[in-house]
Structure 1
Amino acid sequence: MKTITNPYPECDYTRKTRALSDAVELLQGKWKVMIIAVLGCRGRKRFSDLQQEITGIGAKMLTRELQTLEMNQLIKRTVCSTKPVTVRYEMTPYGQTLLKIVLELMDWGIAHRKHIMSPTLSVNSL
Structure 2
Amino acid sequence: MPNALSAAEADADLLVLRPSKWTLVVIVQLRAGTMRFNELRRNMGGVPQKSLSQTLRELERDGFVTRTAYATIPPRVDYDLTDLGRELLVLAEQFQHFALRNRQAVEEARRLFDATTG
TM range (shorter): 0.7 to 0.9
Q: 1:50 aligns with which of 40, 48, 53?
A: 40
Q: Cα distance 1:27–1:53, how it changes in 2: closer, same or farther (>3 A)?
A: farther
Aligned residue number for residue 37 of structure 1: 28
CA offsets 1:9-60 (integer angstroms, 9 cap, x no match): xxxxxx6xx65x854x424331111111111x22111000111111221111
Structure 2 gap segments, 5+ residues each: 1-7, 109-118
In the aligned structure 2, how far is the partner of 1:115 from the partner of 1:107? 14
For residues 14-29 of structure 1, the aligned pairs below 5 Å read: 19=12, 23=15, 25-29=16-20
Aligned residue number for residue 105 of structure 1: 95
Q: Is the 8 A contact 2:20 2:55 kept in 1?
A: no
Q: For 2:102, what is the secondary structure of its paired residue?
A: helix
Give 1:38's aligned amino acid.
Q
Please report the TM-score for the alignment, with normalisation by the length of structure 1. Answer: 0.68
Following superposition, which runs of at least 4 residues in structure 1 exceed 3 angstroms of deviation? Answer: 114-118
Give 2:87's aligned amino acid.
T
Q: For 2:79, what is the secondary structure of its paired residue?
A: strand
In the aligned structure 2, how far is the partner of 1:38 from the partner of 1:61? 15
CA offsets 1:78-112 (integer angstroms, 9 cap, x no match): 01232211100000111111111111111111111
CA offsets 1:55-76 (integer angstroms, 9 cap, x no match): 2211111111111110111000
Q: Is the 8 A contact 1:75 1:90 kept in 2?
A: yes
Root-mean-square deviation over aligned CA pairs: 2.3
Please report the TM-score for the alignment, with normalisation by the length of structure 2. Answer: 0.72
Number of residue pairs the alignment of both structures matches: 100
In the aligned structure 2, how far is the partner of 1:47 from the partner of 1:26? 22
